[in-house]
Amino acid sequence: MGIVVQKYGGSSVADAEGIKRVAQRIVEARKDGNDVVVVVSAMGDSTDELIDLAERVSPLPAPRELDMLLTAGERISMALLAMAIGNLGQEARSFTGSQAGVITDGSHGKAKIIDVTPGRIEQALGTGAVAIVAGFQGVSQDTKDITTLGRGGSDTTAVALAAALKADVCEIYSDVDGVFTADPRIVPTARKQSRISYEEMLEMAACGAKILHLRCVEYARRYDMPIHVRSSFSHHSGTWIADHEAEAEDMEKAIIAGVAHDRSEAKITVVGVPDRVGEAARIFEALSDAQINLDMIVQNVSAAATNLTDISFTLPRSDGQTAMSALSRIQEVVGYDSLLYDDQIGKVSLIGAGMRSHPGVTAKFFAALAAAGVNIEMISTSEIRISVIVDEPQVDDAVSATHRAFDLEAAEVEAVVYGGTGR
């Protein structure tokens, strides 16, 4: 058959038993006649342990050295996985990111893949071996230093390798069976989606669904590489992420892909901003200079009597302190009254390419929230998504009510969570 790229996260290879179980699956895929390339993350919590060690020797470790350190994690898991596969009678060879030809820029800790030249991988496949590749890492084009790709790095490695090798599919294994219509911890009857488009998956990822990182889906969409998200703990078919838009006659296609939620954001309101040209620009310039990524932004209509307006926006909670400081520094220049900071908020998003052609989705969404007694603080929309900010304690109710209102429930409970969470 063709080439299959499989990616296993840290929770799938957390210990010797996990590694042996994964090895078994890989050998099965090889026996099915595929050329198999496996991308693997570091074992369980080993990356966190390395970071702890680093903090104990230096409060602010050099990024180049931190990358050198962290890449030891995948080196351990990939070598052990290759051994476990060898023990089953199937030859396997492990390769670092550098050996696998994952060429990146020089941004340590958050390097971007520039090119993938998998000559050694193709050579290994040519001899009948399974190739095991360290996820999350590469080598910088200019200095030949070891780099890491940052969050979502291993998934991105897998998709990038799959694209370079012209693989048939990139299988991303984790501890859940696929992409669900909502987080099964909140909605136990959430339904597994058998297929979903790149666009929808991008919105899901951006709105807090943790199953795949935005960056990996973007990469897959650019190279039109189908992703099959599935569990390494079961043999169920998972969710296929691909260009389903092309299938015009797709009757199975749901209007709504799912309900996502995110508790990682905070809201800042700048109160009493003079409603003059350029004042808002100054505020966002200050935030941009501080390297802060904003999500939703709302500006109220100014009250006629005062000619003052309020500007609210959401941002990652981890950037809250930095943003407040940056804004404080420009208070006199802008002349605003005060700042309000609220990190007791949550974002609930309804996502689905189908809503384009189905009017009334927004009305139904808001009605469901109202019936559940959930107050909407901010609203933002795209062509295939509606997001609202609500009080954090109301997130669960909002997700459940929305899921029910759009008839997303499965006939029976489908979701099983098998282990921890990987990188």
The site for a second copy (CB under 8 A) is made up of 16, 19-20, 23, 50, 53-54, 56-62, 64-66, 68-69, 71-73, 75-76, 78-84, 86-87, 92-94, 99, 120, 144
Nearer to a second copy, 23 or 388 (CB): 23
Other CB atoms within a 10 A radius of the CB of residue 402 amount to 29
Measured CA to CA, the distance from residue 272 to residue 268 in angstroms comes to 13
State phi, psi for 215 to the nearest 5 degrees.
-60, -40
Nearer to a second copy, 74 or 262 (CB): 74
Nearer to a second copy, 129 or 390 (CB): 129
47 has binding-site annotation: yes
9 has binding-site annotation: yes
Least distance (Å) between residue 71 CB and a second copy: 7
CB-based contact 85:36 (threshold 8 Å):
no
Least distance (Å) between residue 333 CB and a second copy: 37
Starting at the earlier edge strand, list the strands of the sheet with 137-140.
113-116, 102-104, 137-140, 146-148
Nearer to a second copy, 85 or 260 (CB): 85
Nearer to a second copy, 24 or 306 (CB): 24
Give the list of residues 6+ apart from residue 293 with CB closer than 8 angstroms, or none: 315, 316, 319
Measured CA to CA, the distance from residue 78 to residue 93 in angstroms comes to 9
Starting at the earlier edge strand, list the strands of the sheet with 345-351.
258-262, 345-351, 385-391, 378-382
Least distance (Å) between residue 73 CB and a second copy: 8
Least distance (Å) between residue 174 CB and a second copy: 21
Nearer to a second copy, 82 or 217 (CB): 82
Least distance (Å) between residue 118 CB and a second copy: 14
Handedness of CA 292, 109, 211, 199 (dihedral sign): positive
Question: Quick one: tokens of 116?
Answer: 């993938």
Least distance (Å) between residue 13 CB and a second copy: 10
Other CB atoms within a 10 A radius of the CB of residue 372 amount to 17
173 has binding-site annotation: no
Least distance (Å) between residue 32 CB and a second copy: 23
Least distance (Å) between residue 57 CB and a second copy: 4
Nearer to a second copy, 58 or 237 (CB): 58
Other CB atoms within a 10 A radius of the CB of residue 418 amount to 14
185 has binding-site annotation: yes
Nearer to a second copy, 69 or 241 (CB): 69
Least distance (Å) between residue 84 CB and a second copy: 4
Angle, nearest 10°, between helix axes 279-289 and 320-329? 130
DSSP letter for each residue of 211-275? SS-HHHHHHHHHHT--EEEEESS-----EEEE-GGG-TT-TT--S--EEEEE--EEEEEEEEEE-
Give the list of residues 6+ apart from residue 408 with CB closer than 8 angstroms, or none: 181, 182, 190, 191, 256, 258, 259
Name the DSSP class of 144: -
Nearer to a second copy, 81 or 368 (CB): 81
Measured CA to CA, the distance from residue 103 to residue 311 in angstroms comes to 42
360 has binding-site annotation: no
Measured CA to CA, the distance from residue 216 to residue 104 in angstroms comes to 15
419 has binding-site annotation: no
74 has binding-site annotation: yes
Annotation: binding site for ATP: 7-10, 185
The binding site for substrate comprises: 47, 74
* Residue list, annotated binding site: 7-10, 47, 74, 185
